[in-house]
């Protein structure tokens, strides 16, 4: 629903332009997703829009800044953008190059390392790498 996506973007302080709306509509349809820039590009090109790759980089980074999605980097390949903003961890299937969410109640992290003075924890990234061999 277009008006719904519009509200999401406006609430996050992001100007709802056509590309952003189309991307938001795909990303925020209720099912959490992991997409690369290239995948987002392909998806939008499948619709009426013909955005440039650079715009997808801009848009996805902008969504990150706005707190709508989060970036997951692994292995120096293309970055993933994750729509799940709730605390959670990741399962990475090295064979398939597929990323999957792990709920925080499937994994418990306890204990806090000694932090430098004044430092605060931004995020805790946990990636469990699995393979079938």
Partner DNA sequence: ATTAATGCAAAATCTTTGCACTTTC
Partner DNA sequence: GAAAGTGCAAAGATTTTGCATTAAT
Give the tokens for residue 33: 């997703």
Exactly one of 1, 30, 46, 50 binds DNA (CB under 7 A); that residue is 50
- Do residues 20 and 9 lie in contact, with contact meaning Cβ atoms separated by under 8 Å? yes
Q: Pick from a copy of itself, DNA, none: which does 120 bind, CB < 5 to 8 A by kind?
A: a copy of itself
Q: Pick from a copy of itself, DNA, none: which does 64 bind, CB < 5 to 8 A by kind?
A: none
Q: Which is nearer to a copy of itself, 49 or 74 (CB)?
A: 74
* CA atoms lying within 13 Å on the CB side of residue 16: 15
Q: Pick from a copy of itself, DNA, none: which does 94 bind, CB < 5 to 8 A by kind?
A: a copy of itself
């Amino acid at each position: 629903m277009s008006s719904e996506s519009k509200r999401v973007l406006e609430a996050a302080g992001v100007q709802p332009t056509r590309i952003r709306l189309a991307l938001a509509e795909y990303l925020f349809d209720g099912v959490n997703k992991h997409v690369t820039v290239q995948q987002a590009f392909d998806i939008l090109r499948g619709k009426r829009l013909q955005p440039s790759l650079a715009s997808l980089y801009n848009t996805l980074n902008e969504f990150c800044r706005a707190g709508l999605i989060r970036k997951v980097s692994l292995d120096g390949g293309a970055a993933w953008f994750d729509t799940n903003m709730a605390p959670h961890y990741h399962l990475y299937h090295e064979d398939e190059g597929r990323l999957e969410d792990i709920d925080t109640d499937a994994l418990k992290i306890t204990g806090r390392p000694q932090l430098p003075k004044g430092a605060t924890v931004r995020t805790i990234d946990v990636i469990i790498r699995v393979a079938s061999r």
